[in-house]
Amino acid sequence: EQQRSILLHSTSCFPLPPGVKLSYGTAGFRADASLLESTVFRVGILAALRSVQTRSVVGLMITASHNQASDNGVKVADPSGGMLSQHWEPFADTLSNAGDPNTLLQLIDDFAKKEKIPLEGASEGEVLLGRDTRPSGEFLAEAAKQGITSIMGVNATDMGVMTTPQLHWMVRSRNKGMEASENNYYDQLSTSFRCLMEYIPKGNRNFNVNDKVIVDGADGVGGEKLEILKKLLSDLSIDVRNRGDGVLNEGVGADFVQKEKIIPRGFGPADVGFRCASLDGDADRLVYFSIELNSNKIVLVDGDKILSLFALFIKEQLNILTGEDGKVNESYQARLGVVQTAYANGASTYYLKQLGLEVVFTPTGVKYLHEKASEYDIGIYFEANGHGTILFSESFLCWLEGRNNELTSTSKCSEQQEAALRLLAVSKLINQAVGDSFSGLLLVEAILKHMGWSMFKWNELYHDLPSRQLKVKVVDRTAVITANAETVVVRPIGIQEAINAETAKYPHGRCFIRPSGTEDVIRVYTEAISQEAADSLANSVATLVD
Ligand code: 16G
Ligand code: ZN
């Protein structure tokens, strides 16, 4: 009864803006910040319910990532630190669009029954609340708190401004019973990075201050946080640009750099010859680039290439550890898998398969890639746009620890032990909750050092096939339904045949279309042996969709 009246009262303070219908989408709700207060309040309720149900800490992040500064958004981190369980998404949609307090109450009641969420009696829970640097974040965080605390027994812990991956990391760590402050996060990253640097092959160890990486913080939360992290790193020089003085995501950031392929604001001719990297507005994406002499263009080193570098390194360490055939020393057969989407450049997929790796595909969106990667002992996933991470299974880490102890007692610092220690360090450096530009950056830097490679050498792992992305505005994007990880259109009938016929005209042509999860458009992607061919294929397929 008390619970009912609390909810009725608080909900009446957060009426829905008229005529707005939002959907949880690929990565939470996103809209102009002025429309979001009631949605964020309702997501607060949802996060609290999830926490009560799972008897675990849950996260709520307020960010619109790479969108413009006036937008905002909200998403929930599950107890594992990953994305909200997909079977809760429909509830997120109905709850957020329930205007009338009585309707909302009924929805919660029904859902709580169905999901066995004990709302009567002593429910308990905790929701960690984070936000990026958007000005609207503060009042939206208030709305979230109101929502969270409308469920009796649930506390809202305000973590203030932080990156999306930091919040996910904290949720994961808290639920593993580990310490989970922001400082613990920096400690874990810097310690494991130092450990990796310690096992760099001797010839590559020297530290040269001119060998620095210049990072574009997208004028978001990433810049200021990276300033803190970099002070703890002794073997790496990081120059942070766009730390928040300019307009968030405007002419800067990973999304801009990857899509436009031009030099972001704050970079110029003086940076030619250096490794550069861009984060996005909430620091969960990472791409590298270099600046060309006398041009405003960049050479992009995208998520596919970061993935390839990681895969190569991990495979090398596994080979040292278990022997090329994976059979030496009664060894554990570690299953290594690579997960990509249809957007992965075909040249990267070809390269990874050549390395002998198992490559699988999922639809676009971190939640799908992450889930697939978790099926392996070591699952590496990346989207071309820079979202990605590496997941290690508990049983593999356990075996690795054991192997390391065994090696310690026999032959000190053997090659094999170094490989085991490197893999253990990677498992701590990389954020296993969600893709994290900071751990990605540190791992790239450590591996380049390990290999003794320049960025140029890295970029030469393979050459991207020319590609083109277009978007087509349509009346109803939900009319397009795809299958096989978005590579085939099944509805409307006949479109796939038409696409096939067009594609067949281009040697090595590849093409797929899919409805965007974040915009009201159909996206077209093509690849071919020349840019002209990729462009022309994209244009003709776009007219098919129209
Ligand atoms: C979201 C997804 C990203 C995906 C993108 C595709 C998360 C955290 N983010 O930003 O993974 O690549 O949407 O956008 O899942 P689209 O559906 O508009 O092409
Ligand atoms: Zn992001």
**Atom number in ligand 1 closest to CA 383:** 12
**Atom number in ligand 1 closest to CA 341:** 12
Assess whether the C-beta atom of 242 lies below 6 angstroms from ligand 1: no
Per-residue pLDDT for 96 more than 70?
Answer: yes
User: pLDDT-derived band of residue 331, with 50, 70 and 90 as boundaries?
Assistant: low
- 515 annotated to a ligand binding site: yes
- 518 annotated to a ligand binding site: yes
Return the CATH class of domain 467-545. Answer: alpha beta
Ligand 1 pocket: which of 67, 387, 431, 478 to mutate (most atoms within 8 A of CB): 387
Tell me if 282 sits within 8 A of 220, measured CB to CB. yes
Per-residue pLDDT for 411 more than 70?
Answer: no
Please list the residue range(s) of the chain that carry CATH number 3.30.310.50: 467-545
Per-residue pLDDT for 442 more than 60?
Answer: yes
For residue range 445-462, what is the model confidence (pLDDT) as tens digits?
999 999 999 999 999 999
- Looking at all shown ligands, the one closest to residue 366's CA atom is 1
**Cis preceding-peptide flag for 15 (omega within 30 of 0):** no
The fold of 187-191+199-299 is: Alpha-D-Glucose-1,6-Bisphosphate; Chain A, domain 3 (3.40.120)
Per-residue pLDDT for 327 more than 80?
Answer: no
- 90 annotated to a ligand binding site: no
Assess whether the C-beta atom of 523 lies below 6 angstroms from ligand 1: yes
Assess whether the C-beta atom of 519 lies below 6 angstroms from ligand 1: yes
Assess whether the C-beta atom of 145 lies below 6 angstroms from ligand 1: no
Q: Which of 279-283, 430-434, 494-498, 519-523 has the lowest mean pLDDT?
A: 519-523
- What's the pLDDT at 319? 92
Per-residue pLDDT for 53 more than 90?
Answer: yes
- What's the pLDDT at 58? 98
Minimal-distance CA residue to ligand 1 atom 2 = 365
H helix count then E strand count, the chain: 18, 19
- Looking at all shown ligands, the one closest to residue 254's CA atom is 2
Strands, E assignment, 358-500: 358-361, 378-382, 388-392, 467-473, 481-483, 488-491
Return the CATH class of domain 304-459. Answer: alpha beta
CA of 257 to the centre of ligand 1 (A): 16
Residue 302 corresponds to which tokens in the numbers above?
Answer: 């995208």
Minimal-distance CA residue to ligand 1 atom 4 = 365
248: amino acid identity, one letter: L
Strands, E assignment, 132-274: 154-161, 212-216, 237-241
Catalytic residues, by residue number, are 65
For the residues 395-417, what does the mean pLDDT come to? 85
Phi, psi (degrees; rounded to nearest 5) at 59: -115, 150
Mean pLDDT of the chain: 94
- 284 annotated to a ligand binding site: yes
Assess whether the C-beta atom of 370 lies below 6 angstroms from ligand 1: no
User: pLDDT-derived band of residue 83, with 50, 70 and 90 as boundaries?
Assistant: very high
Residue with tokens 């596919």: 304
Is pLDDT larger for residue 521 or for residue 413? 521
Residue with tokens 């957007």: 343
- What's the pLDDT at 428? 97
For the residues 45-65, what does the mean pLDDT come to? 97
**Atom number in ligand 1 closest to CA 65:** 10
Q: How far apart are CA 233 and CA 190, in angstroms?
A: 6
Per-residue pLDDT for 225 more than 90?
Answer: yes
Assess whether the C-beta atom of 385 lies below 6 angstroms from ligand 1: yes
Q: How far apart are CA 289 and CA 107, in angstroms?
A: 48
| Residue 262, strand partner residues | 297
- Looking at all shown ligands, the one closest to residue 513's CA atom is 1
Q: How far apart are CA 429 and CA 421, in angstroms?
A: 12
For residue range 335-369, what is the model confidence (pLDDT) as tens digits?
999 999 999 999 999 999 999 999 999 999 999 99
For residue range 131-145, what is the model confidence (pLDDT) as tens digits?
999 999 999 999 999
Closest of 202, 246, 198, 240 to residue 69, by C-alpha? 246
Residue 419 corresponds to which tokens in the numbers above?
Answer: 């490989």
- What's the pLDDT at 545? 87
Assess whether the C-beta atom of 364 lies below 6 angstroms from ligand 1: yes
Q: How far apart are CA 419 and CA 320, in angstroms?
A: 7
Tell me if 197 sits within 8 A of 235, measured CB to CB. yes
Residues by chain with Cβ below 5 Å of ion ligand 2:
65, 280, 282, 284
**ipTM given for this complex:** 0.97
Tell me if 105 sits within 8 A of 95, measured CB to CB. no
| Stated pTM of the model | 0.95
Please list the residue range(s) of the chain that carry CATH number 3.40.120.10: 2-161, 187-191+199-299
User: pLDDT-derived band of residue 207, with 50, 70 and 90 as boundaries?
Assistant: low
- 132 annotated to a ligand binding site: no
**Atom number in ligand 1 closest to CA 369:** 11
- Looking at all shown ligands, the one closest to residue 248's CA atom is 2
- 523 annotated to a ligand binding site: yes
Residue 485: which region, alpha, beta or left (left: phi > 0; alpha: psi -120 to 50)? left
- 211 annotated to a ligand binding site: no
CA of 295 to the centre of ligand 1 (A): 30
| Residue 290, strand partner residues | 299
For residue range 510-545, what is the model confidence (pLDDT) as tens digits?
999 999 988 889 999 999 999 999 999 999 999 998
Tell me if 105 sits within 8 A of 8, measured CB to CB. yes
Assess whether the C-beta atom of 362 lies below 6 angstroms from ligand 1: no
- Percent of the chain surpassing pLDDT 90: 86
**Atom number in ligand 1 closest to CA 435:** 8
Assess whether the C-beta atom of 366 lies below 6 angstroms from ligand 1: yes
- Percent of the chain surpassing pLDDT 70: 97
CA of 29 to the centre of ligand 2 (A): 13
Taking the CA of residue 272 as centre, how many other CA atoms within 13 Å lie in the half-sphere pointing to its CB? 8
Minimal-distance CA residue to ligand 1 atom 12 = 365
**Atom number in ligand 1 closest to CA 385:** 12
Assess whether the C-beta atom of 518 lies below 6 angstroms from ligand 1: yes
Per-residue pLDDT for 210 more than 70?
Answer: no
- What's the pLDDT at 326? 46
**CATH label, 2-161, candidates 3.30.499.10, 3.40.120.10, 3.10.450.40, 3.30.2130.10:** 3.40.120.10
Assess whether the C-beta atom of 517 lies below 6 angstroms from ligand 1: yes
CA of 471 to the centre of ligand 1 (A): 14
User: pLDDT-derived band of residue 249, with 50, 70 and 90 as boundaries?
Assistant: very high
